[in-house]
Amino acid sequence: MLRYKIGGLLVAISIAINVNAQELFVFSEPASNMPAKSMGIRLSNWMMDESATARINYHFIPEVMVGVNNRLMLHAEVFFSNREKGLSAEGIGVYAKYRFYSRDDVYRHFRMAAFARASTNNGDIHQDEIVTNGHNTGYQLGLIGTQLLHKLALSGTVYFEQAYNNYKGNELPVTMGNKAVNYCFSAGRLLLPKKYKGYNQVNMNLMVEVIGQTQPQNGKQYVDFAPSLQFIFKSQTRVDIAFRKELYSNMLRSAPNGVLLRVEHLLFNVL
């Protein structure tokens, strides 16, 4: 069954590649950074279907981003969710990305970056899946490689993730793994405008991403498929509408399927 699902996934990716990309992905970061001396605000709204109930698992992650220079980018984020009564804060995280390699040509470039994330969380640990961006206390260390070919963008991300006990006595069960290797393969095409005429034109991008995690300690893993549409207004405001669907999993995941709605706005030359 997994073989047929992956076959269908590859067909979907080939369709997206042959449609026209912007190097801004939804479920992963590209190796390029935001403009130097700029700031950004990102609001991510995750609305995921609970596997065992009919309720919606809602996570809200506001984020402040800083382009220190053309190589270094920093993020600070806060995690909110509705797992307790109402919407409550569960933790904070920081993220840093450093671009260490660039090969730039006309209408194309290849870039590589290293990144790290550290976060704290006080929520209950209720699934095998490790997610230090909103669920688990821990850290990430990884690499990104991104190839831009005119209107086509391709990117690959791989990172190690370590989880620890959450705060407020929410300890990681001894039956669960605390280490994971994660990966993401992303492809994007610029759909609109067909021909650039001016600054006020809206850009529309189609993205497809394959997201996976494997835990070496116990062999548990999952593979997800995530298509998305992205709209960019005046090169400053970005709106992402994405759907994430589990293709295969042998681990407990409380809410693997659902929708991501994200709004991001950049402020140039403010630092």
* Burial (0-12, 13-18, 19+ Cβ within 10 Å), 9: middle
Q: Which has the closest alpha carbon to 130: 234, 217, 25, 247?
A: 217
**pLDDT per residue over 8-45, tens digit each?**
444 444 434 333 345 789 999 999 999 999 999 999 99
Indicate the average pLDDT of the chain: 91
Q: What is the pLDDT at residue 149? A: 92
Q: What is the mean pLDDT of residues 64-70?
A: 96
Handedness of CA 125, 130, 136, 138 (dihedral sign): positive
- Give the pLDDT confidence score for residue 38 in this predicted structure: 96
Among 78, 36, 17, which Cα is nearest to 208's?
17
CA distance between the termini of the chain: 52
Q: What is the DSSP string of 52-76?
A: SSSSEEEEEEEEEEEE-SSSEEEEE
pLDDT digits (tens, 9 = 90+) for 45-60: 999 999 878 789 999 9
Q: How do residues 75-112 score in pLDDT, each as one tens digit?
A: 999 999 998 778 999 999 999 999 999 998 887 899 99
What domains appear along the chain, each with residue ranges and CATH number? Answer: 2-267 (2.40.160.40)
Question: Which structure tokens are listed for 253?
Answer: 């995941």
Lowest mean pLDDT among 11-20, 37-46, 165-174, 175-184: 11-20
Say which residues have a Cβ less than 8 Å from residue 134's Cβ, sequence separation at least 6: 46, 59, 61, 79, 81, 90, 91, 93, 119, 121
Enter the pTM of the model. 0.90
The percent of residues above 70 in pLDDT, for the chain, comes to: 92
Are 121 and 166 in contact, with CB atoms under 8 Å apart? yes
DSSP the chain: -HHHHHHHHHHHHHHHHT----S--SSS--SS-PPTTEEEEEEEEEEEE-SSSSSEEEEEEEEEEEE-SSSEEEEEEEEEESSSSSSEEEEEEEEEEEEEEEEEETTEEEEEEEEEEEEEE-S----SS--TTTT-EEEEEEEEEEEEETTEEEEEEEEEEEEE--STT-PPPTTS--EEEEEEEEEEEEEE-SS---TTPPEEEEEEEEEEEEETTTTEEEEEEEEEEEEEETTTEEEEEEEEEEEEESS--S---EEEEEEEEEETT--
